[in-house]
Amino acid sequence: MNDKLKSIHAEFEQSIVSVSSNEDLEAVRIRFLGRKEGLVTNMFKDLGKLSVKEKPVYGQKINDLKNLITEKIAQKVKEIEQKSIESLKSKGADAFDLSLPAFKNEIGAMHPLSIVTDEICTLFVEMGFMVVEGPEIETEYYNFEVLNIPLEHPSRESFDTFYLHKKSLLRSHTSPVQARYMEKNKPPIQIIVPGKVYRPDATDATHSFMFHQIEGLLVDEGITLAHLKGVLSVFAKKLFGVKTKTRFRPHFFPFTEPSAEMDVSCIICSGKGCRVCGGNGWLEILGSGMVHPKVLKAVNIDSSKYSGFAFGMGVERIAMLKYGIDDIRLFFENDMRFIKQFS
């Protein structure tokens, strides 16, 4: 891993020296920091192969390299811009008129859902999880059956979705990605799965037919409910503050047993009771549980040897709690007055 990091660093230093245009610089950025096939991005994917002790060490080293490359690319942008200005100046006043009024540059901002998604994924990556994505168009098998939701199961109605053709559909949760990953990979498995999901809900202040989910999965030998509670408690404290308390309430999900909803102490009133938490001091943020043995069997994992836990949360709900937003529709109206607040 060290040799690979050094090799990538050396290749970047050699590549950045010869860059003379914005087009070349963008090509360098994509090669090293590209979302899908960037060399540094792929290093994060390799963390899942390391031991528990090695993951935080190399995770920090990869982050340091990513930050270094980002800073040097930013410096190069300024250098290219300065050389362009000097070149225009050398051509005389006709080429570069300093008396002209400046163009107004509209400064953009990351969407609040992107901010929260990145923050949540980063927190779990720091705990050794690997980010995995999958198709939004799914089959009935992966969206329902492999997750212990057969056709006649009453809970299937709550996961109903938009059907397309030949039993293909828009996924109603990101759990199918977990099933696909377990089919192709042997334990230990430690993944986080962000993405859009779809359900035929009537749109109102708290519901949307399309929303974003982040689900997590950990499968290994000896995994218990204590591991689930420990990981999610650490996550809640990192996201909402070290004073955040958590509680787990029994619930039902067809793909986990036992199952639980997790609440956090109200971030508005610190658990004293207010309008946001309905006066009880707690806010529900996610569902969780131990992976059902039938799900493990469906993906050819021996449930007598391995166990695991899974959890899932709505990104919109987390963002609404975090930023005090009272209407989910604001996320999708593309009103720059709303989005710019998060720059």
pLDDT in tens, 291-311: 999 999 999 999 999 999 999
On whether both 121 and 259 belong to a single domain, the answer is yes
Q: Which two tokens stand for residue 298?
A: 């469906």
Q: So what's the pLDDT on residue 21?
A: 87
pLDDT at residue number 92:
60
Query: Scanning the structure block, which residue is given the tokens 């707690």?
Result: 282
45 and 150: one domain? no
* Same domain for 323 and 208: yes
Low-confidence ranges of the chain (pLDDT < 70): 91-98, 155-159
Q: Are strands 210-220 and 130-131 parallel, antiparallel or unpaired?
A: unpaired
SS3 50: coil
- The reply to whether 97 falls in a domain is no
pLDDT score for 97: 66
Give the per-residue pLDDT at 82.
86
Q: Which of 60, 90, 120 is the last residue of a domain?
A: 90
Inside any domain, residue 103: no
Residues 302 and 184 in one domain: yes
Which of 55, 90, 125 is at the close of a domain?
Answer: 90
Do residues 194 and 123 lie in contact, with contact meaning Cβ atoms separated by under 8 Å?
no
Same domain, 182 and 322: yes
Query: Tell me: the pLDDT tens digits for 136-146?
Result: 999 989 999 99
Domain annotation covers residue 104: no
Cβ-defined contacts of 222-228 (< 8 Å, 24+):
222/307, 223/290, 223/306, 223/307, 223/308, 223/309, 224/290, 224/307, 225/258, 225/290, 225/309, 227/309, 228/288, 228/289, 228/290, 228/309, 228/311
- Is position 25 within any domain? yes
* 70/178 same-domain check: no
Q: Which residues, in sequence order, are CB contacts of 268 under 8 Å at separation 6+?
A: 274, 276, 277, 324
Amino acid at 24: D
**CA separation for the pair 32, 44 (Å, rounded):** 12
Alpha carbons 291 and 296: distance in angstroms, whole number: 7
Say which residues have a Cβ less than 8 Å from residue 338's Cβ, sequence separation at least 6. Answer: 330
Residue 107 located in a structural domain: no
CB atoms within 10 A of CB 232: 22
Query: 29-43 burial, b if ≥16 CB within 10 A, otherwise e?
Result: bebbbeeeebbbbeb
Picking from 166, 173, 250, 251, the residue whose alpha carbon sits closest to that of residue 217 is: 173
Of the three residues 90, 120, 148, the one that is the final residue of a domain is 90
The confidence score (pLDDT) of residue 306 equals 97
Q: Look at residue 256 in the predicted model and tell me its pLDDT.
A: 95
- If asked whether residues 54 and 147 sit together in one domain, one would say no
Residues 184 and 312 placed together within one structural domain of the fold: yes
| Phi-psi sector, 53: left (phi>0), alpha (psi -120 to 50), beta | alpha
Question: Alpha-carbon distance 108 to 329, whole Å?
Answer: 20
Pair (42, 128) in one structural domain: no
CATH number of the CATH domain containing 193:
3.30.930.10
Q: Which residues pair with 82 in a beta bridge?
A: none
Q: Are 165 and 78 members of one domain?
A: no
34 and 169, same domain (yes or no): no
Residue 105 belongs to a domain: no
Q: Look at residue 94 in the predicted model and tell me its pLDDT.
A: 58
Count of domains in the chain? Answer: 2
Domain assignment of residue 96, yes or no = no
Q: What does the alpha-carbon distance between residue 229 and residue 262 come to, in Å, rounded to a whole number?
A: 9
Which strand (E) or helix (H) includes residue 80? helix 54-90
pTM for the model = 0.67
Q: What is the pLDDT of residue 45?
A: 77
| Rounded CA separation 186/171 (Å) | 24
Shared domain for 167 and 274, answered yes or no, is yes
Instruction: State which residues form the domain around 309.
Output: 112-342
Report if residue 209 sits inside a domain: yes
Token couple for 206: 């708290």
